[in-house]
Amino acid sequence: MPKGKKTVIKEIKLLSDDEISINGKTYIILENTENIETAKTMKISSNGNRILRFDDEKKKARLDVKRDIDIVKYTILDDERAKKFSKGNDKSIITTNDKKDVVATASSFIKARTIASEFGDKESVNYDKEIGKSTFYLIEEM
């Protein structure tokens, strides 16, 4: 669907607190509103999110396409390569000897970034003190 094009909503169903089905496609709710099932049209914003419009023009909700996004932990065993990787995140530096673990899966980029940022937040229970030195957390869409 091209940017700016409006889509008339024929079928809308709330699947869970943060998932909704519109015209047969599943979306993640980024910004909710009351009675989201009463939306009339959907438009793509400039950043790729979907915006639902209602009869009340002041009311709106933001959605994103549901995706499978992995948060991957790379542990680079060589200090020199780890320094190079930290400067540019060039995946060609990673070898088969380095460790790769999928630590979480998210359904939208916003959730994936939130999860990945927890590993660098000193206040978080998931804080990794080696982040940026030998350990790197990357977001990879499947």
Nearest-angstrom CA–CA distance, 25 and 4: 18
Reported as a single tens digit per residue, the pLDDT across 64-88 is 988 999 999 999 999 999 999 988 8
Reported as a single tens digit per residue, the pLDDT across 39-72 is 999 999 888 889 999 999 889 899 998 899 999 9
> Shortest CA distance to 120 belongs to which of 83, 86, 80, 69?
86
**Can you give the pTM of this predicted structure?**
0.73
